[in-house]
Amino acid sequence: MSDVRMFDSRPATAVDAESPLAVSNLAERARRSAADPGVTLRERAFLGHLILRGGAIVLDEAVREVLGVSLPARPGALVHDADGERSIQWLSPDEWLVIVPEGEAYSLEKRLRDALGDAHFAIVDVSGGQTLVELSGPRAREVLMKSTPYDVHPRHFPAGKGVTTIFGKATAILRRPDEDRWELVLRRSFADYCYRWLVDAGEEYGLAVEASGR
Amino acid sequence: MFHIYCPYCEEHREEEEFHAKGQAHIARPADPDACSDAEWGDYLFFRDNPRGIHHELWVHAVGCRKFFNITRHTVTYAILETYKMGEQPTITAESLARGEKAGNVQAASGGQQTVGASDAAVASVKGAQA
Amino acid sequence: MSQSSSQPNRLAQGGRVDRTRKLTFTFNGKRYTGHPGDTLASALLANGVDVVNRSFKYSRPRGIVAAGAEEPNAVVQLGSSEAAQVPNVRATQQALYDGLEARSTNGWPNVQRDLMGSVGKLGGSFMPPGFYYKTFMAPASMWMTYEKYIRKSAGLGRSPVESDPDIYDHMNQHCDVLVIGAGPAGLSAALAAAYSGARVILCDEQEAMGGSLLDSRETLDGDTATRWVDAAIDELASLDNVTLLARTTANGYHDHNFVTLHERRTEHLADVAPRVDGRRQSRSRLHRVRAAQVVLATGAHERPLVYGNNDVPGNLLAGAVSTYIRRYGVAPGQKLVLSTSNDHGYRAALDWQEAGREVVAIADARDNPDGELVEQARAAGIRIITGSAVIEAKGDKRVSGARVAQIDIDGFRVAGKAEELACDTIASSGGYSPVIHLSSHTGTRPVWRDDILGFVPGDVTGMTPAGGAHGVYALDAVLEDGVAAGNRAAEAGGFPAASVNLPRASAHRESPAVALYQVPHEKPTLRAPKQFVDLQNDVTAAGIDVATREGFESIEHVKRYTAMGFGTDQGKLGNINGMAIAARCLGQTIPETGTTVFRPNYTPVTFGAIVGRHCRELFDPERYTALHEWHVEHGAEFEDVGQWKRPWYFPRTVNGKKESMHEAVARECLAVRQGVGILDASTLGKIDIQGPDAREFLGRVYTNKWAKLAPGRVRYGLMCKDDGMLMDDGTTSCLGDNHFLMTTTTGGAAGVLEWLEIWHQTEWPELEVYFNSVTDHWATMTVTGPEARKLLAEITDIDLDKEAFKFMDWKEGNVAGVPARVFRISFTGELAYEINVQANYAMHVWKTLFAHGEKYDLTPYGTETMHVLRAEKGLIIVGQDTDGSVTPEDLNMYWAIGYDKPFPWIGKRALSRPDTRRVDRKQLVGLRPHDPKVVLEEGAQIVFDPEQSIPMTMVGHVTSSYYSPILDSGFALAVVKGGHHRMGETVYLPMVDGKVHAAEIVSTVFYDPKGERQHV
């Protein structure tokens, strides 16, 4: 759709950037990490986040062409590309979340728009509005059980699934990319609250924080 | 705390994820200017308050953000059926009263809710199917 | 403190207590010892403590009656420090730990000598039956008089006045089968469901799982029943599809099989949760369980018989006597009289005798009992008086005797001369009541069964009762019922039924029970010694009799008249007896009388557990903008706007003195009017709108026109509901012909997005348009004031020339090296640029602005200054100047109403309703106080005639009011009836202190009325 104004929000020359969890003092929390942690948290900041809106049939072709994976049409489905760096997740019958490595969002949007041509769709860059936090460790599931009413039992939440649900008193996208990891996609303004919630919920199991930055 | 089948997410979710939006199937008059004040007032302000079967509009606010309809029993709180926008309920107060065939409530286009439905309500639905 | 090291009632052997270890505890300041495995109640009984409380109303001495959750009397205050105080703990459910400190909750000044006791002895004339009912029905002032006196003397426990040192948390659980209760039925149900492959949760409220098997006389596979219990628990614990929750009470059974379980994690260890490896652990945990199926294996509560003075300490349930002997190795007395209506009660007498104590007699209400237990008692040489019952207990602070007489149940009379038997303990059994409380929470009505003389649960979808809760009492049948229920539940979830190798339980020949509730006395009920039905609330048979005589025929009314079942025990012991008595008084059957409704929670739950971690810094989400840290570092005071933390103002410290809010706001206002200020406006809601029908959609949801807004332009819009009332406002920018960026109020962001979606999804799905929130993606910085252009020009490549970049234009470019969209819109009336950058880069841009802004004295300002500045310009804030009853016309914003738009936009039709056409509607105006020093109170009511007598005719109220630094006067916005046509008139604002302010109705625009400053 040519009448949509694309916008590359990343500076041509690098400037200081602050992820949504810059305020959360990760370095200090990392320093106090438990020696034998039951749960480990890691922020994966500055990834490219795009919201894709449109009909599944229309989008599928473009997504396969550009990302090399089929659009997950099943509710709750999450798929990754071959090297696991790019993912696309069903959010609603006409909405998907694409997460790609830092710096790829704008070019991806452009290629998708080119592929989609005049179809009715929307692509929205939300990279500045959310961040991704990874949970791992043997007690990660219990931390999630304290946090969300959604059933995170492996029978109900296998790898390759993702949902939008309640987190504490906020909301989050909860995903399970593989057997060993969980991912939370947090809205920027709620990120510190959610992070504090996680740190609190994880305390009894022994918590480690990996300060990752980029 | 209801357990509600979202017909779009195709699974049961906790009530916390939803917002209730009042009575379902209230269509905005196509030509408001042609409405009398009484008709417009009726559209704006007047709603049913039945004891028994009620069709309600809900939104999966923390989830797919889609609106859909719930057929709920206002006494037992049993949810008999959820169905998408644009669809019609297969279970109504009238259909239950007539005991007529309630259609295939397991149809993929709608969601049949069994958890939370009262035995009586389920029995009547099942009876209607038999 | 005196020391009592001996435990006179502790048996030399037997029970599940560890006699090799001693635990010390205090009760009412006196030190005692007990053993691991004891409850506080069993330890008190072991130490011969008879009186544990004073009764609620009559202040009579009360002792321990039961051994579990149904205990009405032994309700204690726990805690060794002020912060650790816990009220209303049932001593029968509190595990003993070393150092436990408990005291009675009732009894002022103490349980042994009680001032209130004399009131009770007068026959309770101070508080007759119906006291509460009549008090509440009387004028409210009467209750105020009684309340202090009643509360002080009744003392229902007290809350700590210091902060709780413990934490509590929640855990969300999901399962295919939740089994509530781990007695024989629950264990066998859990085994069956677990073997089927279902996800199973098994919870039990007691310290140990096993239920009735923990003190059973019966054998399983020829061995003690506890052997099988241990094996079953080991087996369940080894299965990874089973979660075992001990010390966990199912407290609430809510809609759609949502069950709340309260797990007491550390209450058996200490009164403050100990740390584990230095880490905090929650004292208790609320499990929020969504169960596909529930197996209700909650067992049954024994019913006491209702006879005269049945509340004197030493009157116990027969089953409780057995439990104390067999489970805790405690015989709570020396000489026992048993009064029973059934075979089961005989176990107490057999256990008592086997413990080496004397059974004086068994009063059996049946004429010819011949069950196996009866035969065993006869063979043991125990005297059995058939056709009789204990009609009255003797004694004051301890039972000293029992009056036993032949009774005629059908005739409700004593049939022979009473014989007084010397004893110190009376055990009674009137049969069992299935524990139906949880099923009742769902709203289902219990069903009376004559064959078991009890109510069983009504139908609940997804719930299967098993064992005692199902009215099944024989052990072999209970085990089978458990397996059947477990399988039924598993099969409902699509799992195959499994077989369980059940142990062999011997079947017993039983003689039928007789229906006996209230025992007749020689005197009529109203004159007989008090026959207690509800011990916790001091409700007697006579009280129920009076209630029915006064015309209360519904059991729910009887309940409210007498307060039966209103205690923290919810009448677990007394309710069925009460219903039976009401039924007899009314001459009807129990099922005709019906039952009262049990409500959550089954047993009291501490508020901490209900709150969980949603407290203190996690009470509610605090939403931060990308610039939050800067605001904190620069001393901002914050204001809560919804969940957002927004800088309210930035007080400076001048000569060592911190500015007041008034001083800071005045300085910030003048900086914007005369230099340049900057506001973090990131909290404004932002919605990205794409699609060929985006423009059409905007035209339908906004009151004004959007057809011709060109790319590069911005427009202010009003959004109404279909009733014509304003719901939100904001600017929307045309980014491309099919692409718009809508802003909403901070508080309205989520609501507006849902509003757009509901219209799109339900009414106009044919419109091709998508809405997405981008609120968090963008950070927004408003640079405003006469110097704004000069400052921004230093760090942007955008042409800021006033012709090239006009008011209500937006441009793209770089600001501080970061791609930005800059909107030339103004909420201050001054030259203003709203800079939007991706939030990750916002801090860099903000700091760069300050680096360059120093020479302009760039001043950060907060929401308070924003409010003053916008009000000086007459710009409204939705929700402050409007309240859901204000139309755009009421705001005099006709310029923003597109009456001739082709589509009947939302809100339009309502503007021609008679009510919205009224000329005397409250309309927004400006108010200029006659005294410029006066700042009117927001919310102050307005009158036209200050001389009118009270009640005065109120014609409006102040919506916004501030001191204006630039005008050096107070000013206000207000809604006034017909205000638009009253310009120049004087209105009056009578204040609470008697002052009356006068103010002139003026235009809402107080500063720069021509709007020249924002166009420079």
**Residue C802, in any domain of the structure:** no
User: Residue C667 in 3-state DSSP?
Assistant: helix
CA distance, residue C917 to nearest chain B CA (Å): 12
Q: C502 — phi, psi (to 5°)? A: -80, 145
**Residue C225, in any domain of the structure:** yes
Contact between C542 and C531 (Cβ < 8 Å): yes
pLDDT the model gives residue C571? 85
Q: Are strands C413-414 and C248-254 parallel, antiparallel or unpaired?
A: unpaired
CATH number at residue C242: 3.50.50.60
Contact between C176 and C490 (Cβ < 8 Å): yes
pLDDT the model gives residue C105? 84
H or E segment and range at residue C359: strand C358-364
- Which chain A residues are closer than 8 Å to C688 by Cβ? 122, 124
- Contact check, Cβ <8 Å, C736/A20: no
Task: Give the C-alpha separation, C191 to C490, whole Å.
Answer: 11
Q: Which of B31, B61, B85 sits opposite C754 (nearest CB)?
A: B61
Q: Are residues C102 and C11 in the same domain?
A: yes
Q: Which of C171, C174, C623 sits opposite A146 (nearest CB)?
A: C171
Contact between C798 and C811 (Cβ < 8 Å): yes
- Contact check, Cβ <8 Å, C459/B114: no
Q: What is the mean pLDDT of residues B85-103?
A: 83
CA distances from C70 to C67, C304, C320, C568 (A): 8, 11, 11, 10
CA distances from B46 to B41, B68, C963 (A): 7, 21, 44
- Contact check, Cβ <8 Å, C621/A169: yes
CA distance, residue C267 to nearest chain B CA (Å): 28
pLDDT confidence bin for B119, thresholds 50/70/90? very low
The range of the structural domain enclosing residue C77 comes to 1-119+134-163
CA distance, residue B27 to nearest chain A CA (Å): 24
Question: Where do the domains of chain B lie?
Answer: 3-129
Q: Are residues C402 and C440 in the same domain?
A: no
Which residues does C906 contact at the CB level (< 8 Å), separation at least 6? C700, C701, C719, C720, C721, C722, C759
Task: Give the C-alpha separation, C259 to A2, whole Å.
Answer: 54
**Residue C978, in any domain of the structure:** yes
Task: Give the C-alpha separation, C455 to C446, whole Å.
Answer: 6
Domains of chain A by range and CATH? 24-46+130-214 (3.30.1360.120), 47-126 (3.30.70.1520)
Which residues does B25 contact at the CB level (< 8 Å), separation at least 6? B55, B69
Q: Are residues C364 and C480 in the same domain?
A: no
What does the H/E/C string look like for C940-980? Answer: CEEECCCCCCCCCCCCEEEEEEEEECCCCEEEEEEEEECHH
Q: What is the mean pLDDT of residues B5-12?
A: 98
Q: Are residues C342 and C395 in the same domain?
A: yes
Length of chain B in residues, anyone? Answer: 130
- Contact check, Cβ <8 Å, A9/C290: no
Q: What is the CA radius of gyration of chain B?
A: 16
Q: Are residues C77 and C138 in the same domain?
A: yes
Contact between C630 and A18 (Cβ < 8 Å): no
pLDDT confidence bin for B120, thresholds 50/70/90? very low
pLDDT the model gives residue B111? 37
Query: B115: nearest CA in chain C?
Result: C256
- Chain A touching partners, 3 or more CB pairs below 8 A: B, C
Q: Are residues C423 and C340 in the same domain?
A: yes
pLDDT the model gives residue C136? 55
Contact between C1005 and C926 (Cβ < 8 Å): yes
The ipTM is 0.98
- Locate C598 and state its tokens: 């049990």
Q: Are residues C272 and C313 in the same domain?
A: no
- Contact check, Cβ <8 Å, A93/B11: no
Task: Give the C-alpha separation, C446 to C591, whole Å.
Answer: 9
- Contact check, Cβ <8 Å, A163/B10: no
| Fold of the domain spanning B3-129 | Folate-binding fold (3.30.2270)
| Number of domains forming the structure of chain C | 5
Last residue of a domain, one of C469, C492, C515: C492
> Does the CB of A125 have a partner CB in chain C at under 8 Å?
yes
What does the H/E/C string look like for C532-575? Answer: EEECCCCEEHHHHHHHHHCCCCCHHHHHHHHCCCCCCCCCCCCH
Task: Give the C-alpha separation, C498 to C645, whole Å.
Answer: 56
Ranges of residues in chain C with a pLDDT under 70 are: 1-5, 106-155
CA distance, residue C444 to nearest chain B CA (Å): 9
> Does the CB of C545 have a partner CB in chain A at under 8 Å?
no
- Following CA atoms C568, C573, C575, C580 in sequence, which dihedral angle do they give, to the nearest 10 degrees? -170
pLDDT the model gives residue B109? 32
Q: Which of B11, B16, B66 sits opposite A92 (nearest CB)?
A: B66
Which residues does B126 contact at the CB level (< 8 Å), separation at least 6? none
| pLDDT mean by block of 10 residues, chain A; 214 residues | 87 96 87 91 97 96 95 97 95 98 97 96 98 98 98 98 98 97 98 97 95 62
The b-or-e profile of A140-163 (16+ CB within 10 A means b, else e) is bbbbbbbbbbbbbeeeebeebbbb
- Contact check, Cβ <8 Å, B27/C254: no
CA distances from C79 to B52, C52, C91, C100, C104 (A): 49, 16, 13, 7, 12
Q: What is the CA radius of gyration of chain C?
A: 38
Q: Are residues C253 and C332 in the same domain?
A: no
CA distance, residue A111 to nearest chain B CA (Å): 26
CB count, 10 Å around CB of C616? 10
- Which chain B residues are closer than 8 Å to A76 by Cβ? 9-11
Q: C25 — phi, psi (to 5°)? A: -145, 165
Chain mean pLDDT for chain B: 82
Task: Give the C-alpha separation, B6 to B68, whole Å.
Answer: 8
> Does the CB of A170 have a partner CB in chain C at under 8 Å?
yes
Cross-strand pairs, C245: C203
Q: Are residues C314 and C334 in the same domain?
A: yes
pLDDT the model gives residue C4? 43
> Does the CB of C722 have a partner CB in chain A at under 8 Å?
no
CA distance, residue A166 to nearest chain B CA (Å): 7
Contact between C46 and C324 (Cβ < 8 Å): no
> Does the CB of C274 have a partner CB in chain A at under 8 Å?
no
Q: Are residues C5 and C103 in the same domain?
A: yes
Last residue of a domain, one of C492, C512, C540: C492
CA distance, residue A140 to nearest chain B CA (Å): 21
Q: Are residues C172 and C286 in the same domain?
A: yes
pLDDT confidence bin for B124, thresholds 50/70/90? very low
**Residue C882, in any domain of the structure:** no
Closest CA to C390 of C519, C205, C260, C568: C519
Task: Give the C-alpha separation, A202 to C277, whole Å.
Answer: 14
- Contact check, Cβ <8 Å, C279/A1: no
**Residue C738, in any domain of the structure:** no
Question: Do you find a cis peptide bond into A154, omega within 30 degrees of 0?
Answer: no
DSSP code, position B29: P
- Contact check, Cβ <8 Å, C624/A23: yes
Q: Are residues C38 and C151 in the same domain?
A: yes
- Contact check, Cβ <8 Å, A93/B16: no
pLDDT the model gives residue A212? 67
CATH number at residue C89: 3.10.20.440
Closest CA to C539 of C575, C515, C568: C575
Q: Give the model confidence (pLDDT) of A156-200 as tens digits.
A: 999 999 999 999 999 999 999 999 999 999 999 999 999 999 999
Q: Are strands C956-964 and C969-977 parallel, antiparallel or unpaired?
A: antiparallel
Q: Are strands C532-534 and C714-720 parallel, antiparallel or unpaired?
A: unpaired
Contact between A123 and A48 (Cβ < 8 Å): no
